[in-house]
Structure 1
Amino acid sequence: MRDSCCGDSAKTHASRPASEAPPPGARALRLRIEAMDCPTEEALLRRALAGTPGVEALNFDLIGRVLTVHHRDADEEQIRRRIAATGMTPEPLDPARRSEAPSTRENWWKLGGAAVIALVAEVSDWIALGTPWLPAVLALAAIALVGLPTWKKGFIALRHRTLNINALMSVAVTGALLIGQWAEAAMVLVLFTLAERIEARSLGRARDAIRKLLTLAPESASVRQPDGRFRSVPASSVVIDSLVRVRPGERLALDGSIVEGHPILDESPITGESLPVDKAPGGTVYAGSINQGREFLFRTSRVAADTTLARIIHAVEQAQASRAPTQRFIDRFAAIYTPAVFTIAVLVGLAWPWLFGVGWLEGIYRALVLLVIACPCALVISTPVTIVSGLSAAARAGILVKGGSFLEQGHRLRTLAFDKTGTLTRGEPSQCHWDAIDDTLDSAARQRLRALAAGLAARSGHPVSAALARAAEAEGIDSLAVAAVEERPGRGVIATWEGRRVWLGNLRLAEEFGAAIPPLRARLAEHRKRGETLVLLGEEEHPLALFAVADPLREESREAIEALHRRGIRTLVLSGDHPDSVAAVAGRAGIDEAHGALLPGEKLAIIEACVAEGPTGMVGDGINDAPALARADIGFAMGALGSDAAIETADVALMDDDPRRLVTFLDLSRATRAVLMQNIALALGLKAVFMVLAFTGHATLWMAVFADMGASLIVVANGLRLLRSVPGRAGSAQHAANQEGAGQLEDHGGGHHRREQQGAMLGKPLDHQ
C-alpha cells in the first residue's frame, strides 16, 4: 500500500495523463490490480508495458485499481506477464461491472504471531536472555512471517530505479541485519506491516466513497416483454423506450419518465436533497433514486451507460484522477526530497565516523534511521486522500466537481457573477397580475377578456404565452376558440374571433395596430422597472387588457447571496434582459451590481475585467453563457439534470439548481484547503523533528517507523474528516417547501431547453423581452 506514494513517480505522472483516449477500433483488456493505487505503480506499469507490441493506450483508475489496456491484436498473456514482473498481480475484471471490491484477505494471525516473536526477540536482546543467537533466530522467524513481501516489493522497486517506502524499508532492514541489529530489524518490519494494514483500511474509506456510487443503480430492471409480462433483465441491455416497473423500496436502474403511478422518490443520490419528492405521470425520474411510495411504471429515456448517475460517476472518477495544484507541487517536492535525503543518509554513514569520531556501526545505524525518514509518504498521500474525500462529500451534497483543482482553488474566489434567467430566477415565467384597460367593465366582460387572452395564448408555444394559459386554467377559465391564427415572430399572435381581428403580443405588435397610446407606454415603463414583461391584448386599434408576466426569483437566491456576502464574496448579475428588469431582480436578491442588455461578448468582457481584479466564478446554464463560463476561474452550471452540455462543460455543476449549494461548495473548498495545509505542516514537522533526533543520535529505527507511519495515519484520518460532514450545507426544508408536487426537478432541469426554444411568440429569449 505505502509503496505507491514515494519516489520519482511525480515526474512520470506529471508528463503523462492518467487516462488516454482509446483509439477507435482498439480492443480493451480490463485488469484489476490490487497493489495499484497511486502514481508510483502507474509509473512502474507504464515503463513495464512501454514498447509492448500492439499496445496503444493505457487508462488508469487508481481509486478502483483498474487498468484498461487498449490494444490491437496484442498478446494479452504477455501483457499480464509484464505486469506480474513488477510484483503486481493482474486479475481479469468482469466486463459487466465497472469496478469490484477487493478480494484479498489479510492474515492477521501471521502479523500477531510475528509481533509476539519480535517483541520476545527485543526483550531477550535487552536483558541478554539466553544465547547470543536467540534474538537473531527469533528476528528471522518474525521477518519470515510478515517481512518477505516488503522485501520483494522493495527490490523490484530498486530494480526499476524507484525509491519508494518498500525500497527504503528493505535497505534499512537489510542494513540493520548486517550490523547485527536483529531484534530491531524484526520490530521495524512488524510495525511497518501493522501500520500499512491500518493505513490500507483508512484509505479504503476514501475508495469506498467512490465505489459506493457504482452500487447506487441496480444491475437489473423489471422490463415489460412483448407478451405483457415483466421480466428482470440486465440494466445494460435495456433499450430506450422500454417500460420498466419499480416496486416500493426498489432503486431505479435507468432514467426515464413516469407513465403510470404517483411515486415518492428519494433523489438524494443525484441532487443531495434529503427530503423525498412527489412525482406524477410525465415526471422525470433518475437512476439511483429510491422508490419510497407505491409501485409505478416509467419509460426509459437513456441507456444504462448514459444515465445522469452514470455521467456523475464518470465525472467523479475523472475528477479524482486529476491532480490538484498542491498535489502537483508535493509530487515535485517528493521527487527531489527523497533522493536528497537518501544521499544525505549515505554521506552520514560514510562521513559521520570521520567527522565526529563515532563508531562505524553507529554511523551506519544513523544513516539507516534517515533512510526510514526519507520517504515523504505522509506528505504525498495526504493530498489525494483529502481531495477524494472532498469530492465525495461534494457529490453527496448534490455538487458535481469536475476536478480536484477546482475544489482546492474554490477558496480563492472573491467575485461571483450570475446569469439571471434560470439561475437567480426559476427560468419559467408566470403571470403576476392583469388589468383591463377599461376600468368600468363588469365582471362578465372582464371574464370574457381573460378567456379571449387564454384562447390566443393557447395557440402559441412561447413560454410567456404558456404562463397566461396556465394562469387561466388554474382559475378555471375556459378559453375562447379563435380562428385564422397567425404568428408574428418577435411580436405576438393575431387571430380572428367572431369576425373581428384580435391580437396578443408586445409593444411592437401594439404599434402595428396603432394601439400604443402614451398612457399605455407609461404603464409599460412602470411595470418594466419592476422586472415584469408586459403582454397586451387588443382588438384592431383598441388595447383591451394588459398582462404582467415575470420570471420569479428563487426563494433561496436571497439566502444564498446573503451567505456569500458574509463570506466576503462580491456578487453581480449579468443578463441580456432590459437593465430595469435586471436591476429589479438584483435588488430583490441583494446583489451588489447589475448589468443588463448584454450580449455574450459583453458578458465575457465583464468577466475578463473581474478576473483581472481577482479570482472570479461565473454561474450560468453552461450553454448561453459558455464564453463567460469558460473565461471565469471556475464555471458553475445550474440545472445540470436537464442539460447534457452543463454536465460536460462546467467546472462545477449544482445538481438541484439551488444557489445555496454555492455556499456549500465554498465552505467545503475552504475546509479542504485547511486540511491540506494541516497535513503538510504535520508531515513536514514530524520529518524535521526526527531528522534532528537522528542526527543527534536520539532516534531509533522503530521510532522512525512510528514517526513515518504515524504521520501517514494522522494525515489520512485528518483528510477523511471531510467525508463525515459537509460544511455550510444548505438546509433542505425550505427547498422542499418550494417543490410544487410532481415535476419540480424536471422543470428545473428543462429550463435550459425551454429557454433555447423560446421565440415562437416574441422571437427572443425572455432575457431580451
Structure 2
Amino acid sequence: MAASSALKMKIEGMDCAACAIKIENAMKRLPGVSDINVSYSQESMAIMLDEDRTSPRTVEEKIKALGFTPFVANPDAGATRKLPEYSDQAWWKGKKGRLVIFTGLMFAVAWIIAHLIPDWGQAAYSIAALIAIVPFARRAIAGATSGTPFSIETLMSVAAIGALLIGAAEESAVVILLFAVGELLETIAAGRARAGIKALIDLVPRSALRERDGVVEKVAVEELMIDNVVVVRPGDRVPSDGKVIQGFFEVNEAPVTGESVPVAKDVGANVYAGSINTNGELRVAISHVAADNTISRIIHMVEEAQASKAPMARLIDRFSAWYTPAAMVVAALVIVVPPVFFGGDWTTWIYRGLSTLLIACPCALVISTPAAIASGLAAGARRGLLIKGGAALETLGKVKTIAFDKTGTLTRGRPQVTDVIPLVGTENDVLARAAAVERNTSHPLGVAIGEAAIARDLTVPASFGGAKATPGKAVTARLKNGFVSVGSPRYAAEQTSIEENVSDRIAAMEAEGKTVVVLMTGKVIEGLIALRDEPRDDAAPALRRLREMGVATVMLTGDNQRTANAIGSTLGIDIKAELLPDAKLAEIARLKEQGPVAMIGDGINDAPALATASIGVAMGGGTDVALETADAALLRDRVMGVADLIALSKATLGNIWQNIGLALGLKAIFLGTTLFGVTTLWMAILADTGATVLVTANALRLLSHGRRDAK
C-alpha cells in the first residue's frame, strides 16, 4: 500500500464556516483521506490522501458537486495548474454572480409573462422556480449524501418546493432569487474580509534591482538569494528583509509595522520587506529569501490564525449542529399541530411552517464569530499587531492582569546618560573627556557616553595609545593633560578621598536606580556621569490607558530592588524585583489564580514566562523569535501596542456578541410574526439573508478599528 501524500487545493466559493463544514464532512466520507484542514478564510483545503483508495480527481469532483470550484496543486492528470491568487474579480464574472443573473432572468421572464398573459402567470413562475432551483437542489442532495443533510440549501429547497406544491409559485421564485442574491452578498463580504491579506501581499514588489559585479539587473523577487545585494531607489519598496550596506536614509516602515514616522537607517541596520525608501539610494544585502521574509511570515501567521477556531466559534459550531435539525422539527410541528389538534387550515399552516424553515437558516449565526475574528486579526496585522489565532484574540480581551518584563520591554534596553555633574570645568568638558577615554570600548556604559557626546556634537579630545581596562572598575587612557580614568565610585574611593557632598550626590543618584561613573584625572575627581536604562517614551501613557481599561499591571524583573523601585515609581506600576526565573514563573502562576494573565517580554529570555502565562506577547520588532515564541507579537516596538491589543480584543468580543444578538434577535422577531401570519415566504428568506449581510457588515467594521488612533 502506498503511503499517504499531502494534497492542497484552493477552493473558490467558500464564504463562511458552514461551507468549510460541508467540505470537511464530505472528505471524512472518502476512504484514504485524513488530516483534513479546511479554511474558508483562505479558501483552501489541505488533506493527507492515499491515492490507492481515492484519487485526487475523485476529491475534486466531490467538491464540485457541493457547488465549489477546486484548483488542485497536483492534479492526477499530470498537468500543473497555478493556484489562484487573491483577486478583485468583478461580481458578475464569478460563479455565484452568473447564477444570480440567470435566476433573475428566469424571474423577469415569468413576471413579464404573468403581466402580459395573467392566466399563464402561475405556470410561468412555477417553471422559472423549477429551473432556477436545480443548482441549489443538486448542492442539497450532494450535501445530504456527503454528511451534511441539514444544509442551508436543503432548508431553502424544501421551502421553495413546498411553496410550489401549495400554489405559491411566485413566492417560491422570489425565495430562490433572494437566496441567490444573499449568497452573492456573502461572497462579496468574504472578499472584503480577505482584503487584509491581499493588502499584505501587495506590499512586496514583484521585481528587484540586483547588483552583481557593478552591474544592476532587474530580476523577480523569487530569484533573490541570501547575501545578494539589491539597490533600492527613492520611492521603491525593499524587496525582501536585509541589512543596509551602503547609504544613510529614512525608510517608511508604516506598511509593515504601522509606525507612521519614517525610521533612519544607517549601515548595518535591518530593513523589512515592503518598507519604502523615502530618499536617496540604499544598497541592501538580502538576509531572507522572499518566501521567508517578514511579510511572508506575517501573511502565513494571519492565514493560520484565521483558520484556527476561537473557543466562541467552536461553541457556535456545536450549537448549530443540533440547531438546524431542531429548527426543522419546529417547522414540522408548526405545519402539523394546528391543523391536527386545533382544526387549522392545512394550506395556511404549511405556508407558515415553510416560512419558519427559512427563518431558521443558521447562516448568520454560524458566520457571526469567524467573521468578527477574521476581521479583528486582519485589522491587527495592518497595525503591526500579530495575533496567532482566534483563541489568543479572545483571551486578550478577558485578561485581568498584565505582567511586564522590565529591561527592553518597559525600558529601552540600553543605558542612557541622564546626568552630567561637573566638578571641574563644564558639563561638555566632562562628557567629552569621558567619551575620549571610552572611545573604543564595547561596554554598554561606554557606548552610551560616546552616543551622548555625539548627540551634543562635542569635539572629543585625542588619546595617545590604547585605553587600559581594569575589569569591573575603570577604563584609563592618556589624554593631552595626563592619564584620565572613567570608573566606578568604589574605584574612585580606592584612588583618592571623596568629599562628603560628592558622596551624597552619588548616593542620591544611585537611589534613583542610576549607575554613576566618576571622571578622574590622576587622583582629582573632575565630574560625575549618571546613566540609566530609561523607560520608553510611551510606557507611562500605555500603562495609564491599561488601568483605565480595568486591567491591573505589574512589573516582574530580576533586577535589583533599588533600580526596579526607581523605574516603577516613574511609571506608576506595581513591582516584583530580584526574581529568579523560577520565582517569576511562580508569580505568574499566582496571578493566574485571580484570572487570565498576559506576560509581555522580548521573546527571547522571557520564553518560559511567555509560555506559562494565559497569553504571551513578544515585543521583538519583527525578529524571528518574537514572531514564533509568543501568542502575539508587536512589530511596532512600543508598550502602547499592548493597550492596542487589549482594545482590539475587547472590540472583537463586543462585535461577536452584537452579531449573535443580531442573528438570534431577527430570527426571534420574524418567528413571532410568522406564527401570526404576518411574514411571507419572501420576507422570511430576506430575514435570513438580511441577518447574514448585517452580521458580515458589522464584522467588517473591525477592519477600520484603530485607524483614527493611528493618525
What letter is aligned with 2:617?
A: F
Q: What is the match of residue 209 of structure 1?
A: 196
Closer, same or farther: CA 341–53 of 1 in aligned 2, 3 Å: closer
List alignment gaps of at least 5 residues for structure 1: 1-24, 732-769
Does residue 463 (structure 1) correspond to residue 444 (structure 2)? The answer is: yes
Q: What is the match of residue 289 of structure 2?
A: 303
Closer, same or farther: CA 666–442 of 1 in aligned 2, 3 Å: closer
Does the 8 Å CA contact 1:453/1:479 hold for their aligned counterparts?
no
Closer, same or farther: CA 537–95 of 1 in aligned 2, 3 Å: farther
State the alpha-carbon separation in 1 of the partners of residues 82 and 681 from structure 2.
Answer: 47
Closer, same or farther: CA 399–568 of 1 in aligned 2, 3 Å: same
Instruction: Identify the range of structure 1 (552-561 vs 700-709) with the bigger mean alpha-carbon deviation.
Output: 552-561
Cα shift readout 1:646-665 (whole Å, capped 9, x = no counterpart): 21122222211122222322
Pairs within 5 Å for 1:282-681: 282-435=268-421, 439=423, 441=424, 447=429, 453-454=434-435, 456-473=437-454, 474-478=457-461, 480-483=463-466, 485=468, 488=471, 491-492=472-473, 504-506=486-488, 522-536=504-518, 546-589=528-571, 591-641=572-622, 643-681=623-661
What letter is aligned with 1:136?
A: A
Closer, same or farther: CA 493–99 of 1 in aligned 2, 3 Å: farther
Cα shift readout 1:49-83 (whole Å, capped 9, x = no counterpart): 44867766444342221223455777443443343
Q: What is the match of residue 257 of structure 1?
A: 243
Pairs within 5 Å for 1:60-99: 60-70=38-48, 75-92=55-72, 99=85
State the alpha-carbon separation in 2 of the partners of residues 99 and 60 from structure 1.
Answer: 17
**1:230 counterpart SS class:** strand
Closer, same or farther: CA 432–724 of 1 in aligned 2, 3 Å: closer
Cα shift readout 1:121-168 (whole Å, capped 9, x = no counterpart): 7879xxxx633x531233322552x43322221111122231121111
State the alpha-carbon separation in 1 of the partners of residues 331 and 476 from structure 2.
Answer: 92
Q: What is the match of residue 225 of structure 1?
A: 212
Cα shift readout 1:93-131 (whole Å, capped 9, x = no counterpart): 58887833276532354344234245557879xxxx633
Closer, same or farther: CA 35–137 of 1 in aligned 2, 3 Å: same
Counting matched residue pairs gives: 691
State the alpha-carbon separation in 2 of the partners of residues 160 and 645 from structure 1.
Answer: 43
Instruction: Identify the range of structure 1 (101-110 vs 166-175) with the bigger mean alpha-carbon deviation.
Output: 101-110
- Which of residues 209, 216, 223 is equivalent to 1:237? 223
State the alpha-carbon separation in 2 of the partners of residues 357 and 408 from structure 1.
Answer: 51
Cα deviation for residue 424 of structure 1 reads 1.9
State the alpha-carbon separation in 2 of the partners of residues 458 and 96 from structure 1.
Answer: 58
Does the 8 Å CA contact 1:492/1:503 hold for their aligned counterparts?
no
What letter is aligned with 1:710?
A: G
Does the 8 Å CA contact 2:22/2:147 hold for their aligned counterparts?
no
**1:84 counterpart SS class:** helix
Does the 8 Å CA contact 1:456/1:493 hold for their aligned counterparts?
no
What letter is aligned with 1:583?
A: N
Cα shift readout 1:556-605 (whole Å, capped 9, x = no counterpart): 2222222223223322222222222222222222x231222222222222
Does the 8 Å CA contact 2:555/2:576 hold for their aligned counterparts?
yes
Cα shift readout 1:443-486 (whole Å, capped 9, x = no counterpart): 79x95x76664455344422222112333455221352454845
Does residue 135 (structure 1) correspond to residue 135 (structure 2)? The answer is: no
- Which of residues 103, 116, 129 is equivalent to 2:108? 116
What letter is aligned with 1:116?
A: A
Does residue 42 (structure 1) correspond to residue 25 (structure 2)? The answer is: no
Does the 8 Å CA contact 2:111/2:125 hold for their aligned counterparts?
no
Q: What is the match of residue 711 of structure 1?
A: 691
Closer, same or farther: CA 453–292 of 1 in aligned 2, 3 Å: closer
Closer, same or farther: CA 71–523 of 1 in aligned 2, 3 Å: farther
**2:593 counterpart SS class:** helix
What letter is aligned with 2:211?
A: R
Does residue 169 (structure 1) correspond to residue 156 (structure 2)? The answer is: yes
**1:269 counterpart SS class:** helix
Pairs within 5 Å for 1:138-157: 138-144=125-131, 146-157=132-143
State the alpha-carbon separation in 2 of the partners of residues 229 and 635 from structure 1.
Answer: 47
Instruction: Identify the range of structure 1 (41-50 vs 535-544) with the bigger mean alpha-carbon deviation.
Output: 535-544
What letter is aligned with 1:211?
A: K
Q: What is the match of residue 184 of structure 2?
A: 197
Q: Structure 1 vs Structure 2: percent identity of aligned residues?
A: 38
Closer, same or farther: CA 199–118 of 1 in aligned 2, 3 Å: farther
Cα deviation for residue 90 of structure 1 reads 1.5
Does the 8 Å CA contact 1:266/1:290 hold for their aligned counterparts?
yes
State the alpha-carbon separation in 2 of the partners of residues 26 and 467 from structure 1.
Answer: 59
What letter is aligned with 2:304?
A: Q
State the alpha-carbon separation in 1 of the partners of residues 23 and 183 from structure 2.
Answer: 22
Closer, same or farther: CA 533–176 of 1 in aligned 2, 3 Å: same
Closer, same or farther: CA 368–30 of 1 in aligned 2, 3 Å: same
Does the 8 Å CA contact 1:353/1:363 hold for their aligned counterparts?
yes
Cα deviation for residue 239 of structure 1 reads 0.8
Pairs within 5 Å for 1:175-194: 175-194=162-181
What letter is aligned with 2:706?
A: V
Closer, same or farther: CA 147–213 of 1 in aligned 2, 3 Å: farther
Cα deviation for residue 428 of structure 1 reads 2.0
What letter is aligned with 1:208?
A: A
State the alpha-carbon separation in 2 of the partners of residues 528 and 30 from structure 1.
Answer: 62
Cα deviation for residue 252 of structure 1 reads 2.0
Cα deviation for residue 28 of structure 1 reads 4.8
Cα deviation for residue 348 of structure 1 reads 3.2
State the alpha-carbon separation in 2 of the partners of residues 564 and 391 from structure 1.
Answer: 20
Does the 8 Å CA contact 1:482/1:495 hold for their aligned counterparts?
no
Instruction: Identify the range of structure 1 (527-536 vs 385-394) with the bigger mean alpha-carbon deviation.
Output: 527-536
**1:685 counterpart SS class:** helix
Cα deviation for residue 370 of structure 1 reads 2.0
State the alpha-carbon separation in 1 of the partners of residues 83 and 283 from structure 2.
Answer: 26
State the alpha-carbon separation in 2 of the partners of residues 99 and 72 from structure 1.
Answer: 27
State the alpha-carbon separation in 1 of the partners of residues 66 and 347 from structure 2.
Answer: 33
Cα deviation for residue 34 of structure 1 reads 0.8
Does the 8 Å CA contact 2:438/2:475 hold for their aligned counterparts?
no
Q: Give the alignment's TM-score, normalised by structure 1.
A: 0.81
Instruction: Identify the range of structure 1 (672-681 vs 276-285) with the bigger mean alpha-carbon deviation.
Output: 276-285
**1:729 counterpart SS class:** helix
**2:397 counterpart SS class:** helix
What letter is aligned with 2:637?
A: D
Cα shift readout 1:704-741 (whole Å, capped 9, x = no counterpart): 1011111111111111111234177355xxxxxxxxxx
- Which of residues 146, 170, 173 is equivalent to 1:160? 146
State the alpha-carbon separation in 1 of the partners of residues 569 and 394 from structure 2.
Answer: 32
State the alpha-carbon separation in 2 of the partners of residues 59 and 237 from structure 1.
Answer: 31
Q: Give the alignment's TM-score, normalised by structure 2.
A: 0.88
Cα shift readout 1:623-646 (whole Å, capped 9, x = no counterpart): 2222332233332222332x3222
Closer, same or farther: CA 588–118 of 1 in aligned 2, 3 Å: farther
Cα deviation for residue 185 of structure 1 reads 1.1
Cα deviation for residue 684 of structure 1 reads 0.8
Instruction: Identify the range of structure 1 (319-328 vs 343-352) with the bigger mean alpha-carbon deviation.
Output: 343-352
